[in-house]
Each structure stands twice: as structure tokens, then as C-alpha cells.
Amino acid sequence: MGKILHFFDVFINSIDIFVEGLWITLKLSVVSLLIAIVIGLFFAILKISNIKVLKWIADAYIWLVRGTPLVVQIFILFYGLTDILLIPMFWAGVAGLAFHSGAYIAEIIRGAIQSIDKGQAEAARSLGMTKGLSMRRIILPQAFRRAVPALGNQFIIGIKDSSLVSFIGMQELFGVASTMGSNTFDFLPYYITVAVYYLLIVLVLTFAVNKLEKRLAASD
Amino acid sequence: MNEKREMIRVEKLNKSFGDLHVLKDIDLEVKESDVVVLIGASGSGKSTLLRCLNFLEIKDNGTVILEGEKIEKETHNLNKVREKVGMVFQHFNLFPHKTVLGNVIEAPTQVKGVEKKKAIEEGKSLLDKVGLSDKYDVYPSKLSGGQKQRVAIARALAMKPDVMLFDEPTSALDPELVGEVLLTMKELAKEGMTMVVVTHEMGFAKEVADWVVYMHDGKIVEYGHPSEMFENPKEERTKAFLNSVL
Ligand SMILES: Nc1ncnc2c1ncn2[C@@H]1O[C@H](COP(=O)(O)OP(=O)(O)OP(=O)(O)O)[C@@H](O)[C@H]1O
Ligand SMILES: [Mg+2]
């Protein structure tokens, strides 16, 4: 009983500092997601192109991301970017996360594009649209709608994965928990606290994605 | 009759998919405001021929001449060529994320750069023409099959094509909805649109076609005016086919 009360104490007393960490986590996750979507779109299009070399480039990227742990990717990008290119830590963290999610999002978008009925592109081409215009105006808007559930899921994974940038010293949610834990030697309550924050974010996000999915389904 | 302008001329057209020789030495001529109906069994190459006419499929060899100009993918911008050749598909292929009017103005505004206000005006009048003046802002999923196909026709017409291709436009429709689409096509024919139509609707062929072309196994076996073709076909194959569908 005392332990539970102690946890609530820790939770309440640490709200300020965790909210700061939460803010960084959200910024990291949203910015890296947006960049990852651009990266993903780019590689998805390389992958469905008819040019072999472009396909290989996309395959190589996806292989690199899948073949190495995220922590390793984050460390390599962190040291590469901050030491050599003198890029600020936040952006090194964003780069690591976006580089990683980008590969998964590339596969999500490629799958969504290929799931759109071939008749759509044919109709567009028969009206005189170029391949690019048909992709941009007809195929991609439909593919993105179809990809919303998978992208939402990837965003949730991205938020949880963002905890790994604490290892390069960022004070996002997990970084805050670790720091507070080591400062007080009172680890468990802080880690439970941070778990609650993640659970809440995921809860809100799941709800939002479901709502969006329903809205898109209604207009279909 | 002889003064009519030549819209399409196909000479010795061949097309294969891998080892499958689908079109074999096809010759075809379509004059301005002619309605040509293509008939033939499934797999005889009707769709492929139609698709070679707007270059959704690229022929292996032979010639396709549109409005007097020999079209080659090496020398022509096929996108520009397609603007002049409208196509209506069996499964409509409307853009589900756009409204009815959105479907119709998409290509004029995006491809031709027509001003949006003007495109809307023209789009509405086309939709009025196909009897859908109350559906401008509706999404395609809310329409019946017959309505969808009429939108698809309006969408193709919005590019002001010189030729319209129809690939089994009524085959995916419930029987009671076939008539409204055929009616729209008849009106179009009456206005002088040049049309090439793949269909199993022999009534439409008899009533509207100037020429009927019977295809079998990648070849044009027989062609003629509908009266000749339907009353007394010359070829055994044509007879057999017509007996099976009439
Ligand atoms: N893209 C393609 N790749 C491979 N084979 C194809 C392709 N398109 C058509 N074919 C084949 O070519 C042949 C002719 O097909 P086509 O669609 O032109 O026939 P059709 O006369 O329109 O038949 P249907 O009445 O069934 O529509 C068929 O055997 C078909 O399987
Ligand atoms: Mg066909």
C-alpha cells in the first residue's frame, strides 16, 4: 500500500519535468514521422519504378534499416551528424528515427499504391494525364487514405522507438525517467510513471486514428 | 459517304503478350461520325485492339493513323494523343475520392489547364446532358452502375475528344440499368461522335452501328453494315457466333 502511495507521490511531483520530456517526445515523433513519410514516399516510388537501378537503391536502403538495430542506427547518425556535420542533437535524433521509420513507411506506401485498382491509372492515362500527374492526383490520394491505419500504427511504433534517443543524451520522456531514477536511486516509480505517459499517448493516438479511419471510410 | 474524313486507320497491326499472339494483321478504318461495333468471343482481342487505339497498349508492329497522322511512340507525345481519344471502361473506373463534378473537371483543369470556373460550367452542362444534373456533388460510391457509367462518359467527353472508345460499357450493369447508358450512347452517336464500341448488345449494334466488325482469335473475320452482318453473314464463324448470342 505504501509503495503505491509512493508511486502516486512520484508521479504527481514529477509532472512538470515529465511534461517537458513529453513535449520533446512529441516533437521528435511528429517531425520524424513527417520526414519519414517523405522518405518513404520517395523510396516507395523508386521501388515501383521500372528502372532496375532505382529499385536496387530502394532495396538497399530497406535492407540497411531492417538489418541493423535502431540503437545502432541512432548512434551512427548521431556521431556522424553531430561530430562531422555539427548538426544539433535534436535533429540528429530526428534523423535517426526518420531514417528508420522511412523504410517501414516506404513498404506501407508501396503496398497501398499497388493495392489501388489498375483501372484508376488507366482511366487517368486515357484522359491524357501523364504518369506523374496520375500518380499525384489519382493514385496517391487514394493510397494515402488506404494507408492511414498502417501509418497510424507506424507512428505509434515511432513514438515508442523515440525512447532510444535518450541514449544519445536527449531528455525526452524516457531520458527524463532514467535521469530522475539515477539521481534518486528510486528507479521503479519513475519507470512506471514513464510507462503511464506512453500508454496515454498511445491511447489518444489509437482513438484519433480510429476516428480518422471511420471518417475516411464514410467518404469512400 | 466518301467525303467523310478518316479518323482512324489501322494497318497490319500486330500485338503479342509474351508468346500469346493476340492481334494478327488487323486492318480497320473508321470515318468521321461512324459508329463501329466490335463483336467477338471472349479472348478474341477486342479490348486489346481498342486499347491499341489510344495507346494504353503499344502495338508490336503495324500502323495506327489518327486523323491522318501516323502515330508512333518514338515521335509522338502519347499523352497528347490520348486527349483526343476518349475511353469508357467496363468497370467505370471513376475516381472515388472525387465528386461527380470533380471527376469531370479533373482532366480539363489538370491536363489542358482550362480555368476552373469554365471547366465547372462545361462539366455541369455535360452532366446535365447525361441526365445527372442533381448529382454534381455526390461521390461515385453513392451512384448506381448506370449513373456511374454516365459520369464516366461525361468525364471522357469533357476533354472534347474526336473519337470515343467504349469497352463493354454495359457489361457490368444490372439489366434494368443497361438502357439508360445505351440511350446516352445513342444520343452521342446522333450528335456525330465517332465511336468504336465493344459490346454484346446486339440491339444497339443493329440500331446504331454503321459498321459491325466480327473478331475471332485475333483476326477480323468479317465486317459489314449491320443489316448484312446480322441478316446474312458470309462466314461460317460469324454465323456460329451470331447464333450463340442472338
Ligand atoms: N496485359 C496482358 N497480358 C497478358 N495477356 C493479356 C493481356 N491483356 C490481354 N491478354 C490476353 O489477350 C487475349 C485477348 O484479350 P482481350 O482482353 O483483348 O480479349 P477480349 O476480346 O476483350 O475478351 P473479353 O470479351 O473477355 O473482354 C486474352 O487471351 C487475354 O488473356
Ligand atoms: Mg475485353
Domain of A164: which CATH number?
1.10.3720.10
In short, whether B15's Cβ falls inside 6 Å of ligand 1 is no
| CATH number for the domain that contains residue B81 | 3.40.50.300
ipTM over the 0.85 cut-off: yes
pLDDT per residue over B132-156, tens digit each?
A: 999 999 999 999 999 999 999 999 9
- List Cβ neighbours of A197 (8 Å cut-off, separation of 6 or more): A18, A21, A22, A173
Question: What range defines the domain where residue B107 resides?
Answer: 6-244
Separation CA A181–CA A48 (nearest Å) = 48
**pLDDT cut 70: percent of chain A above it:** 98
Out of B95, B107, B141, the one facing A128 most closely (by C-beta) is B107
Whether B188 has a pLDDT exceeding 70, the answer reads yes
- How close, in Å, is residue A202 to chain B by CA atoms? 29
pLDDT per residue over B63-103, tens digit each?
A: 999 999 999 989 999 999 999 999 999 999 999 999 999 99
In short, whether B95's Cβ falls inside 6 Å of ligand 1 is no
Residue B1 domain flag: no
pLDDT per residue over A14-60, tens digit each?
A: 888 999 999 999 999 999 999 999 999 999 999 999 899 999 999 99
Name the grid cell of B51.
486499347
Q: Which positions in chain B touch A127 (Cβ < 8 Å)?
A: 82-83, 86, 106-107, 111, 155-156, 159
Q: Which positions in chain A touch B141 (Cβ < 8 Å)?
A: 220
Residue B107 domain flag: yes
pLDDT at A1: 66
- The mean per-residue pLDDT over the stretch A133-145 comes to 95
The pLDDT-based confidence of A216 (bands split at 50, 70, 90) is confident
pLDDT at B205: 94
- The mean per-residue pLDDT over the stretch B216-225 comes to 94
Question: What range defines the domain where residue A14 resides?
Answer: 2-219
- List Cβ neighbours of A72 (8 Å cut-off, separation of 6 or more): none
Separation CA B223–CA B211 (nearest Å) = 7
The pLDDT-based confidence of B246 (bands split at 50, 70, 90) is confident
Whether B75 contacts chain A with CB within 8 A: no
CB contact under 8 A, B106 and A127: yes
Q: How far is CA B4 from the centre of its chain?
A: 20
Whether A170 has a pLDDT exceeding 90, the answer reads no
CB contact under 8 A, B89 and A123: yes
Q: What is the mean pLDDT of chain B?
A: 94
Distances (CA, A) of B32 to B77, B120, B196, B210: 23, 28, 11, 11
Whether A120 contacts chain B with CB within 8 A: yes
Whether A9 contacts chain B with CB within 8 A: no
Whether A12 has a pLDDT exceeding 70, the answer reads yes
Residue B10 domain flag: yes
CB contact under 8 A, A120 and B107: no
Q: Return the residue whose CA atom lies nearest to atom 26 of ligand 1.
A: B42
CB contact under 8 A, A128 and B80: yes
pLDDT at A11: 81
User: What total of structural domains would you count in chain B?
Assistant: 1
CA A76 to ligand 2 center in whole angstroms: 55
pLDDT at A220: 57
pLDDT at A8: 85
Separation CA A148–CA A211 (nearest Å) = 11
Q: Is A169 left (phi over 0), alpha (psi -120 to 50) or beta?
A: left
**pLDDT cut 70: percent of chain B above it:** 99
**pLDDT cut 90: percent of chain A above it:** 74
In short, whether B44's Cβ falls inside 6 Å of ligand 1 is yes
pLDDT per residue over A88-129, tens digit each?
A: 888 989 999 999 999 999 999 999 999 999 999 999 999 999
Mutate to test the pocket of ligand 1, among B15, B16, B21, B22 (most ligand atoms within 8 A of CB): B22
Whether A27 contacts chain B with CB within 8 A: no
User: What total of structural domains would you count in chain A?
Assistant: 1
Separation CA B8–CA A207 (nearest Å) = 57
Q: Is A197 helix (H, G, I), strand (E, B) or coil?
A: helix
Residue B68 domain flag: yes
pLDDT per residue over B20-29, tens digit each?
A: 999 999 999 9
- The mean per-residue pLDDT over the stretch B18-37 comes to 95
Scanning A14-168, the segments in alpha helix (DSSP H) are: 15-48, 52-67, 70-78, 89-115, 118-126, 131-134, 140-161
Residue B170 domain flag: yes
Whether B163 has a pLDDT exceeding 80, the answer reads yes
CA B49 to ligand 1 center in whole angstroms: 10
